[in-house]
Chains A and B, each alone.
Chain A
Amino acid sequence: MRMTKKQFENFKTILLNVLVLTSLFLTWQIWTFEPEYEKEAAPTEASPVGIQEVNISDVVKPNQLVYHIDNQHFTSFNFNAINEFYNEFISGIKIKSFTVENDMEDLEGRGDSVELIFPTLLSNDVLKKLVSISKDDIPLPTFDRIIIPSIASGKNNEIILLNTSSQVGMRATIEASSKMKEWYANVFSSFDITSNEAEEMEMARAKELQVSDKSPVFYLPIQGQSIASFGGSTDELANEEDFKEALFPEQDTVEKNTFNNISDLYTDGSRDLTFNYDNEYMVFKNPPSTSSQFDANESPILDAYGFINKHFGFRVTDLNDDKYVLSEWVTSSQKNTDQITFRLYTEGYPVYSSSTEDLDEVNVTLENNDVSTYKRMLKIIQYTKEISERQLPGYEEVEGLLEEGSFKTSEIQNMTVGYTIDRSANQPYDFSLIPQWFVKLNGTWTPLQSTSNALGGEEVGLE
């Protein structure tokens, strides 16, 4: 049977339609082919939450500043005083080269200089992020003090980096900015402890304290300083939902458990996020792979810093200067874990609490180069109000307290002035901040208390 012309034309129309549809289909297939392949390969990144990200130099800070002038020492523990010099220093120098120095005595005879004492050891990858360094290998892996001898107008200036716990050090040749040189020429050289400026910085005449040959040298104010106590109240930091969104890579696989209205637990089968309503505390657990290849973490401090920056951050509010600053770094070589603690600084000093779940710390544990736990309180300081002044013990009293203490003085790693959070019920505030001496023993900061006077100081102010 022969096709009529009309039938043939109809057939052509159908064929054309089929071809057009096929071409559309094929185009769509090609279009979607590659993106899908790419998409499956890239894991989704959690969205950051928080107020704002901060620089590493806002988080890694010294806790004590010491001026060494004509064999005299002047020191300040006040955060704001330390900050001023520290910020100038890290932006004003360029490190050109390093040399290891094994003779500690050689490093200590340094003449007029400024010393920065950090609350914990720092790794050299942190140093690379803090200051500009033109060399990649840094011979000393960790350090906790930096000494900057008076910078002259010449070219070859040096700074000294020390690791006081293992008694090693290195020299670094630096290039200093003209601003730094000016500061040394004008401000440092004519420093006067009786000036208003020194008082503002809470600078005090200090004396060396070295409890044993192997111990680091501490500089303690000869006269006890008078520091304000504060009363304050807290406010909630954020709602759970924000944290949940930040900490779980995919929201559609997260389920919630509620335990008797005391706590909520979110899980996606690989990680848990617990909110405890009793004390407004948050714990995030993310068990790392347990494989036979279990390596030490490569850059724990930087990783912890990066993680917190993306997950609610260090700046607790925009309104005041309260912030969390690196305070402890504890490595367990047995378990290949690193525990990093960032401590709350308020009213110029670090804050410590006797409770393990309090405002004072943000804790991050790293395992297998990944964050395995993240803990913090979901509260911020809403306001603080000065309630009294407290006279802290001076050099001799501190020395006495150290003798009295139930620890070996040779184990002291660091000393500082800070605040204890007092949450006793008989006060009109949520909590109060009491200034006190703290010593760092075995990686933990402990208040230095007298057996006769619980807080090791005396009240001088008026309520």
Chain B
Amino acid sequence: MDWNRTKTILILTFLVFNIFLASDLFKKQTELSEIEQQKQVTIEDQLKNLNVTYEKNLPVQSEKMSFISGDVHEFTEEEEKTLEEGTSQDITLDGEKLVSTLKKPFPISDPKEPSAFSIFLETYVYEGGKYQYYGPAENNPNIKYFVETFEDRPIYSQESGMLIVTLEDDKVVSYTQTYLSLQKIGKERKIDPASETIGLLLNQQDIGLNDEVENMSIGYYTTVANEDERDTFVFVPTWQVVVSNKKNDDPEKNYYVNAIEKTVFSDTEESIEGEQEEKESDNSDQPDPSKPKTVTSDE
């Protein structure tokens, strides 16, 4: 047998076979992206017809994310000591809540700019780098909310992983912190892309005529953890979509769209703040972060 010749024949055969396979795969991939594109086009058409303002070019590709679990962190005296010694602050521990008053208020160059807080967070706050600016309290611009993040993605609407900072004359005077030890659980799952999430809200008529999609971000959320004092939470990859309608004067609406199971939960901005205020005032034995003077008088 002429092995050299056989090799030549085999090379040619495999070359032809590979070209066929490659073209088949290419065809399949273009078909898939065409479907995605078409979906995208129809969603974009619908948005255009309803005169909805949104950020163009919604990502159609989906990525993979994990569920995360969060264990409520009980601050230890050692952690308290380390913080107090390293920085000049007076810390009171109340189980899972850390309340701190800065001996020397920390100046923030521009309190409206979230990045201006980063040095404060890194220096003064336990695992401060893991918190992300969320917004000011509705009734008091000097109180700022920060939410805990996991791999830079925020945990929405969760009091057990939150930092509430009180400012006076553009200086941080005190803060209250809760912290969750977060970790991935289960296998990674493909999440719904942004475009599909908008499509879902359109279908459910949660986005309608003249609405504006102000913000859309992926983070973590739970729909079941508000009634009891549990120590372990599970958070689901969730899209937060902020929708407003300037023409109707409706309050801004937050939609939380489960990026795995496609369930939609909503609350208005007002009700989140309302809930927080309510819950905080319930804890009469704990200082109310919206009243910085109470914190000081605690000393």
Chain A residues with CB under 8 Å of chain B are 9, 12-13, 15-16, 19-20, 22-23, 26-27, 29-30, 33-34, 37, 40, 43, 249-250, 252-257, 259, 265, 267-272, 285, 287-293
Contact = CB atoms under 8 A, between A and B. Distances in A.
A43 B261 contact: yes
A271 B264 contact: no
- Listed from nearest, the 5 A-B pairs whose CB atoms lie closest are A252-B186, A19-B14, A26-B21, A269-B234, A269-B236
Given A267-B225, A269-B236, A292-B206, 15 more contacts: A33-B29, A250-B186, A253-B236, A255-B233, A257-B230, A265-B230, A267-B224, A267-B230, A267-B232, A268-B236, A270-B222, A270-B263, A272-B224, A289-B264, A291-B264
A417 to B, nearest CB: 39
Interface string B149-193: 000000000000000000000000000000000000111001000
Contact of B235 (A33, A249, A269): A269
Contact of A16 (B11, B69, B234, B264): B11
> A16, A254, A255, A293 — which one has the most chain B CB atoms within 10 A of its CB?
A255
B15 A19 contact: yes
Contacts of B17: 23
Interface residues of B, number: 44
A268 B230 contact: no
A264 to B, nearest CB: 11
B4 A9 contact: yes
A19 B25 contact: no
Contacts of B228: 259, 265
A259 B232 CA distance: 11
A26 B18 contact: yes
Contacts of B28: 30, 33-34
Given A268-B67, A270-B263, A292 B224 contact: no
Interface of B: 4, 7-8, 10-11, 14-15, 17-18, 21-22, 24-25, 28-29, 32, 67, 69, 185-187, 190, 204-206, 221-225, 228, 230-236, 258, 261, 263-266
Given A16-B11, A19-B15, A256-B232, A29 B25 contact: yes
5 contacts: A22-B18, A23-B21, A267-B233, A269-B236, A287-B265
Contacts of B224: 267, 269-272, 285, 287
A16 B7 contact: yes
A257 B185 CA distance: 15
Contact of B206 (A15, A19, A270, A291): A291
Contacts of A43: 261
B91 to A, nearest CB: 27
A154 to B, nearest CB: 54
Contacts of A34: 28
B191 to A, nearest CB: 10
A252 B187 contact: yes
A293 B264 CA distance: 11
Nearest to A256: B232
Contact of B185 (A16, A252, A291): A252
Given A16-B11, A22-B18, A23-B17, A270 B261 contact: yes
A270 B25 CA distance: 38
A81 B25 CA distance: 67
A272 B227 CA distance: 11
Contact of B186 (A15, A26, A253): A253
Contacts of B265: 287, 289-290
A315 B71 CA distance: 39
Contacts of B264: 289-291
A13 B22 CA distance: 22
A255 B69 contact: yes
Given A12-B11, A13-B7, A19-B15, A26 B206 contact: no
A293 B230 CA distance: 32
Contacts of B186: 250, 252-253
A270 B263 CA distance: 9
Contacts of B190: 40
B18 A19 contact: yes
Nearest to B71: A255
A293 B14 contact: no
Contacts of A269: 67, 221-224, 233-236
A40 B62 CA distance: 11
B234 A255 contact: yes
Contacts of B233: 255, 267, 269
Nearest to A267: B234
A12 B190 CA distance: 42
A78 B230 CA distance: 47
Contacts of B231: 257
